[in-house]
C-alpha cells in the first residue's frame, strides 16, 4: 500500500503533506527524476520517500519503465505554455487514465483525500498519472494559468511548478537562473570579473 505514513515530527503538519501543492511538487520532482538517462529503482524510490510516500516493496525495473511512460505524458502539461493548451492535455490524460473520483484515508493512516486511480493498491504508473492529473487540474482551476513550465535554461530538461500569483517563473532552480544570468551578462558586457548576484528562479 502506498500512503504518507503517519509519522509526526516537530513542526510537521500531517495534513499539509496531502495538499494539492505537495502533490504537484511531487509530480514535478518525479518527472525530473524519471527524465534522467537511466534512473535506478532506488533513485526513484528515494524521490517517492522524500515526498512522503510509503514504498513498502522495492520498485522493479518494470515499475520504473511504466513510471517513465507516465512521466513523459505528464511532461506535456508542463511544456504546454498556456492554460488552454494545458487544460486540453490534462483532459486527454484524465479521459485516458482516471477512474471515478473517490475519497480514501488508506485505512485511517492518512487524512481523507481524493483519488482518481482505481484502487489504493493500483500500479505505480496508474497512481502517478491519476494523482498528478488531479493536482494539476485543481491548480489550473484555482489559478487559471498553466500549472507549470519547462526550464528556460539551455539544455536543462527539468520542469517546475508555476508560482502562486507572483511574476512568471522561467527556471527550474536558482542554479539555472544564476547560470543564465551570468551567461547573459557575459554576452552583454564581455567577460566581467564580477558576475551578477544570484537571483530568484
Residues contributing to the site for Zn ion (CB under 5 A) = 151, 153, 156, 158, 172, 176
Indicate the residue among 100 and 154 with the shorter CB distance to Zn ion: 154
Give the pairing of strands 148-150 and 113-115: unpaired
Least separation in angstroms between residue 179's CB and Zn ion is 8
In 10 A of CB 45, how many CB atoms? 17
Closest distance of CB 174 from Zn ion, Å = 10
Minimum distance, C-beta of residue 177 to Zn ion, in the bound complex (Å): 8
Q: Which is nearer to Zn ion, 158 or 162 (CB)?
A: 158
User: 53 in helix, strand or coil?
Assistant: strand
Which of 38, 45, 74, 28 shows the shortest CA–CA distance to 173?
28
Q: Helix H segments across the chain?
A: 20-34, 41-50, 61-78, 83-97, 124-143, 174-189
Q: In the complex with Zn ion, which residue's Cβ is closer, 80 or 151? A: 151
Which of residues 98 and 178 has its CB atom nearest to Zn ion in the complex? 178
- Considering Cα of 175, then 181, then 186, then 192, what sign does the dihedral take? negative
**Nearest CB to Zn ion, comparing residues 20 and 156:** 156
Q: Residue 156 Cβ, how far from Zn ion at the closest point, in Å? A: 3
Residue 196 makes CB contacts below 8 A (sequence gap 6+) with 181, 182, 185
Cβ at position 173, least distance to Zn ion in Å: 5
Amino acid at each position: 500500500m502506498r500512503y504518507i505514513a503517519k509519522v509526526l515530527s516537530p513542526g510537521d503538519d500531517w495534513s499539509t503533506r496531502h495538499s494539492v501543492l505537495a502533490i504537484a511538487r511531487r509530480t514535478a520532482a518525479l518527472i525530473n527524476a524519471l527524465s534522467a538517462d537511466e534512473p535506478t529503482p532506488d533513485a526513484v524510490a528515494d524521490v517517492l520517500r522524500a515526498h512522503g510516500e510509503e514504498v513498502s516493496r522495492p520498485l522493479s525495473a518494470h515499475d520504473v519503465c511504466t513510471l517513465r511512460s507516465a512521466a513523459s505524458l505528464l511532461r506535456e502539461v508542463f511544456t504546454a505554455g498556456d492554460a488552454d493548451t494545458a487544460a486540453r492535455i490534462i483532459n486527454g490524460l484524465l479521459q485516458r487514465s482516471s477512474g471515478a473520483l473517490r475519497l480514501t484515508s488508506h485505512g485511517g493512516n492518512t487524512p481523507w483525500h481524493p483519488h482518481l486511480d482505481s484502487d489504493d493498491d493500483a500500479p505505480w504508473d496508474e497512481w502517478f498519472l491519476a494523482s498528478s492529473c488531479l493536482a494539476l487540474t485543481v491548480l489550473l482551476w484555482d489559478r487559471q494559468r498553466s500549472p507549470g513550465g519547462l526550464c528556460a535554461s539551455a539544455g536543462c530538461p527539468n520542469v517546475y511548478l508555476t508560482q502562486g500569483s507572483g511574476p512568471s517563473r522561467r527556471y527550474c532552480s536558482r542554479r539555472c537562473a544564476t547560470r543564465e544570468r551570468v551567461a547573459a551578462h557575459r554576452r552583454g558586457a564581455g567577460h566581467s570579473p564580477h558576475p551578477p548576484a544570484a537571483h530568484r528562479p
